[in-house]
Amino acid sequence: MLKAQQQGLTAQLEQQSTKKYRGARRKKEAEATVDTFQRLTDDEKGDIVSQAIEALQTEIEQLRSSGNKDVDDIRTLVEEVDLRIAETKKDTYEFKRDIIIGGEDPRTGKTNAEKVIRFLEDKVHDKEVLVEKMALKNTTYRAAIQKLEAQLAHKEEMGEVRA
């Protein structure tokens, strides 16, 4: 029994010395880490912090500008969709008014096929006119751009343009 108590005490002493050793090693590691940080002067620490702040501000500005661009693109798409919806509603109303209600033969109750075909041909013609109009506008804008680019090139040759 005495021998068992001795062995128990020895085991406890070994555990305590191991804990002290572990604690001392951790303390030395912490001191080494602190020494590493203390090697930097306050000015160096300030420079590091200010560089980090500038990098974050630059990143924030880039994200903000790309976000604003995305918002503008989405608004443009929403406006385009709203215009298409309004145009579709208008076409639907005109179709109901002119063809379904107005194109119905009172005697038979059937829709007159000639009116449907004429209505659809008129819509196709209107779209073709719109396409021609936009193509003409597009060529006019391209010519204006070429003219302005030529003027700019001429001014650059003369040395009048200052960046």
pLDDT at 82: 97
Unique residue bearing structure tokens 């790309």:
66
- Helix (H, G, I), strand (E, B), or coil: what is residue 97? helix
Unique residue bearing structure tokens 């090697």:
39
pLDDT at 92: 93
In whole angstroms, give the CA distance from residue 101 to residue 116.
Answer: 12
Residues 6+ apart with CB under 8 A from 103: 111, 112, 115, 116, 119
Q: What is the per-residue pLDDT across 34-75, written as a single tens digit (0 to 9) for each?
A: 555 568 888 888 999 999 999 999 999 999 999 999 999 999
Tokens of 3: 């021998």
In whole angstroms, give the CA distance from residue 158 to residue 151.
Answer: 11
In whole angstroms, give the CA distance from residue 86 to residue 90.
Answer: 6
Which stretches of the chain are DSSP H helices? 2-38, 42-95, 113-158
Mean pLDDT for all residues in the chain: 83
- Helix (H, G, I), strand (E, B), or coil: what is residue 73? helix
pLDDT at 98: 84
In whole angstroms, give the CA distance from residue 27 to residue 58.
Answer: 40
Of 136 and 158, more confident: 136
With CA atoms as reference, report the closest residue to 120 among 87, 137, 98, 143. 98
- Helix (H, G, I), strand (E, B), or coil: what is residue 39? coil
Which segment of 41-55, 78-92, 107-121 scores lowest on mean pLDDT?
Answer: 107-121
> Are the beta carbons of 99 and 119 closer than 8 angstroms?
yes
Tokens of 45: 């620490």
Residue 150 has pLDDT above 60, yes or no: yes
Cross-strand bridge partners of residue 104: 111
